[in-house]
Chain A
Amino acid sequence: MVPTLFGRLQTRLFLLATVGLIVTLLIVPILPGTEGPLGDLYLSAILVLAMVAVLGLVWELLYHFLMQFRWEKDWPTLFGLLTLIPEGLLLFFLLRSGAVGFIDPAPPAAAFWTHFLVVWMCVWLVANGPMRVPFIRWRFRGGRVL
């Protein structure tokens, strides 16, 4: 899928709310280094997921801007994967620094990175193929779901 701006935003929200949520529900009980009641762990993981979505809306604006320098106005598959590095790092430091007050305590590093990476990989894999199975118009509309 080659995204438009609205397509990017919608795809991000949609996939995090579906694939991201399902993966989160499955993975939280086995995240390394976590302790406390499962309910709290779920809450904190879902808030992290929400942060990926919210910060993502800003990141997508940046990606869209950078894409304008590409003649083809495309966004290679690899970019969709590698952008996990800056996004993951930023979020990680925001959590560490306590800037995100409502996620307290911040998840331990191992738990955060496992959760983040697994969600990212699953979303990325689905966006690069299986998404087209139920949604045949999605790729021709620049990633718009609606």
Chain B
Amino acid sequence: MVAAAGIPMNDIPFLTIGGGMGSFVTVDYLRIYGVPTSQMRVISNIDHPWQTYEFLTRCSQIPRPERIRSDSSSRPDNLWGFPSYALEEAWKEKKVGYLWHILTEPIINDYWTPRAGTVFQCLEREAKRINYWDMLVKGQVRMVRRRVGGGYFTVVTPPEGASPTKRVVFRSRFVHLAVGYPGLKFLPDLQEFRQRHGDYQHVVNAYEPHEQVYEFLKTRPGTVVIRGGGIVASRVLQRLFDDRERLNLQTQIVHIFRTFVSGSHGPNAWSRRKGGDGWAYQGFNYPKSVWGGQLKAEMRKLDGEARAKKYKAMGGTNTPYRRRWQEQMQAGREGGYYHAVQGTVERVEPSPDGRMTSYVRSKDGTIRQPVSDYIIDCTGLEADIAEHRVFADLLEYGGAFRNPIGRLEVERHFEVKGTASGDGALYASGSATLGGYFPGVDTFLGLQVAAQEIADDLARRGFCRKMGPLRSTSQWFKWARNSTV
């Protein structure tokens, strides 16, 4: 029927959709397991896998020289995680200090984390090594549908002029979805302000380009309201403090926490997280053992309500405790230019002098009305998965359903539950699958955990051979020598 309609059909056994970090680490695994490029395609609207990640990190104040959040052995370009980034940077920059740092983290030092630039350079090297670009097909995926004879059809809109038809279709036994964030969601009161006043300049989300804020503050003293208590808020604060120091600015900062953490918190001595001055402190977005230790093992056994409860117990917005940030905030409090308060913002309105007033109500009943030049939303709320067309379609027609926290329910091996088709399988990884048997999904290491589960499942189904110690070792040497897989 598709062929009859004149739509070109491509037969490819394995398709990964998204072409970001999740797709990359998955094809990296499979290439190293021995799958040739001719058996796989990556369908994406971006040119290189780190593009969306780089855009988001740059906006949220992590340019290439700055250090990211995840640790030394979360290496998306190296599935073994060895040598870790710390060894690599120590070697390249001839800095033994990094080794001392990594040895003593997180006890007498902060976690050592790699520079964004290091991550991108290494990714580029690995992408070349596995011939990533031979597999990339540019296009926007519209839907993935089960095929009567087993496997799936994937409908793609190619870029303008790239194909004689408006649609192309792929027929494949396996499909992997790694489409990243379904979309960004603004805080409702800020969204309302933006729409009502048509002002997209002064109320910004930290994930969108907002350099104008910092530029304005260089020209005259101003006040910025920050909303949110996660790592993005920490980054934005650091940028404001750095600029203030470097350029002798007079910037005033009002920081509003909806949940103000004033100390260690948790039900008992076995589950108490550090916190203070508004923040909950944690090295990574989940406790470290979710990527391989005790919490990973525990969560893997849980379903339904029990799983949701566990997520709640270890969840919550948090940021790493970094000594530099602590010093800057301390200086800000002492200098009277950094004010952190607990509160819920009821509404934002233009003030008579052309700035903005936030109406903030604290739990103790105090009402504050800070007036500011800019408001930076650092809450980074993620939109519902159904905002993404492909997920909406799968939920409606594909048999997929939601997990206990409302995202896509997947198996322990990341097959999307309810979507099996003949001898084919549909997998998903990344943020859309948060709430499953494995919580660390939306991180490099989590994507690798998922990729390994998927590759091993594909091996069970005969698509490739499971990689054992011998092949793994010989492949590692190839990685080390940068020779093709």
With A71-B266, A76-B105, A78-B104 as known contacts, state yes or no: A139 contacts B81, CB within 8 Å. Answer: yes
Q: Are B103 and A133 in contact (CB under 8 A)?
A: no
- A2 surroundings in chain B (CB, below 8 A): 288-289, 291-294
Contacting pair A74 B293 (CB below 8 A): yes
Can you spell out 14 A-B residue pairs with CB atoms less than 8 angstroms apart?
A1-B293, A2-B289, A2-B293, A3-B293, A71-B274, A75-B293, A81-B103, A129-B73, A129-B82, A132-B73, A133-B82, A134-B473, A135-B469, A136-B452
CA distance A125 to B293 in the complex (A): 19
Q: Does A97 contact B (CB under 8 A)?
A: no
CB distance from B318 to the nearest CB of A (A): 10
Task: List chain B residues, Cβ under 8 A from A68.
Answer: 270
- List chain A residues, Cβ under 8 A from B467: 136
| In the complex, per-residue mask of A111-146: 1 if CB is within 8 Å of any chain B CB, else 0 | 000000000000000000110111111011110000
Per the 8 Å Cβ criterion, residues 62-79 of A in contact with B are: 67-69, 71-78
Report whether A142 and B296 are in contact in the complex, using a CB–CB cutoff of 8 Å. Answer: yes
B399: A residues at CB distance < 8 A: none
| A44 located at the interface, meaning its Cβ lies under 8 Å from any Cβ of chain B in the complex | no
Task: Supply 15 further A-B pairs (C-beta < 8 A) apart from A72-B288, A75-B293, A134-B470.
Answer: A2-B288, A72-B289, A73-B289, A74-B289, A77-B103, A78-B103, A78-B104, A129-B87, A132-B80, A132-B81, A132-B82, A133-B476, A134-B469, A140-B291, A142-B294
Closest Cβ neighbor of B453 among chain A residues: A140
Give min CB distance, A32 to chain B, whole Å.
27
- Residues of chain B contacted by A78 (CB below 8 angstroms): 103-105, 107
Whether the pair A141, B294 counts as a contact (CB closer than 8 A) is no
Query: Is A4 in the interface zone, CB < 8 Å from B?
Result: yes
Which residues of chain A come closer than 8 Å to B166, judged between CB atoms? none
Please measure, in the bound complex, the distance between the C-alpha atom of A72 and the C-alpha atom of B288, giving whole angstroms.
Answer: 5
Once bound together, how far apart are the Cα atoms of A76 and B104, in whole Å?
8
Number of chain A residues close to chain B: CB under 8 A: 30
B52 surroundings in chain A (CB, below 8 A) = none
CA distance A135 to B469 in the complex (A): 6
For the complex, count residues of B whose C-beta is within 8 A of A: 41
Chain B 444-485 interface residues, beta-carbon cutoff 8 Å to A: 449, 452, 467, 469-470, 472-473, 476
Cα–Cα, bound, A2→B289 (Å): 6
Per the bound structure, the CA–CA distance linking A94 and B469 in Å amounts to 38
Q: Is the CB of B476 within 8 A of A142?
A: no
| From B79, B269, B295, residue with most partner A Cβ within 10 Å | B295
Q: Which of B51-109 contact A (CB under 8 A)?
A: 73, 79-84, 87, 102-107
Given the complex of chains A and B, what is the CA–CA distance between A78 and B303 in angstroms?
35
Q: Which residues of B contact A135 (CB under 8 A)?
A: 469, 472
A residues sitting closer than 8 Å to B (CB atoms) are 1-5, 7, 67-69, 71-78, 81, 129-130, 132-137, 139-142
CA distance A3 to B287 in the complex (A): 13
The answer to whether B272 has its CB under 8 Å from any CB of chain A is yes
Query: Given known contacts A3-B293, A71-B274, A139-B81, is B102 in contact with A77 (CB within 8 Å)?
Result: yes
At the interface, yes or no: B218 with Cβ under 8 Å from chain A?
no
Please tell me if the beta carbons of A140 and B469 are within 8 angstroms of each other in the complex.
Answer: no
- Residues on A with C-beta less than 8 A from B296 are 140, 142
Which residues of B from 255 to 278 have beta carbons under 8 Å from A?
266, 269-274
A75 to chain B: closest residue by CB: B293
- A144 shortest CB reach to chain B, Å: 9
Given contacts A132-B81, A139-B81, contact A73 B287 (CB under 8 A): yes
List residues of chain A with CB within 8 A of the CB of B287: 71-74
Most buried by B among A5, A134, A141: A134
Closest-by-CB residue of B relative to A6 is B297
Inter-chain contact B289/A69, CB cutoff 8 Å: no
Q: Is B283 an interface residue (CB 8 A)?
A: yes
Chain A residues with CB under 8 A of B274: 71
Please name all residues of chain B whose beta carbon is closer than 8 Å to the beta carbon of A71 when the two chains form the complex: 266, 271-274, 282, 287
**Complex contacts, A139 vs chain B, CB 8 Å:** 73, 81, 292
Task: Output the least CB separation between B145 and chain A (Å).
Answer: 32
Instruction: Determine whether the beta carbon of A69 is less than 8 Å from that of B82.
Output: no
Q: Which residue of B lies closest to A68 (CB)?
A: B270
Partner among B73, B80, B106 whose Cβ is within 8 Å of the Cβ of A76: B106
| A134 CA / B271 CA spacing, docked (Å) | 34
Structural contact, B472 and A4, CB atoms closer than 8 A: no
**Contact in complex: A141, B292 (CB < 8 Å):** yes
Are A130 and B288 in contact (CB-based, < 8 A)? Answer: no
- Most chain A CB neighbours (cut-off 10 Å) among B87, B294, B296: B294
Closest residue to A130 on the B side, CB-wise?
A: B82
Q: In the assembled complex, how far is the CB of residue A121 from the closest CB belonging to chain B, in whole angstroms?
A: 12
CB closest chain-A residue, reference B271: A71
B84 A129 Cβ-Cβ under 8 A: yes
Contacting pair B288 A74 (CB below 8 A): yes
Q: How far is the CA of A76 from the CA of B105 in the complex (A)?
A: 7
- Rounded to whole angstroms, the CA-CA distance of A133 and B291 in the bound complex is 18
What residue of chain B has the Cβ atom nearest to residue A79's Cβ? Answer: B107
Residue of B105, B289, B296, B473 with most chain A CB atoms under a 10 A cut-off? B289
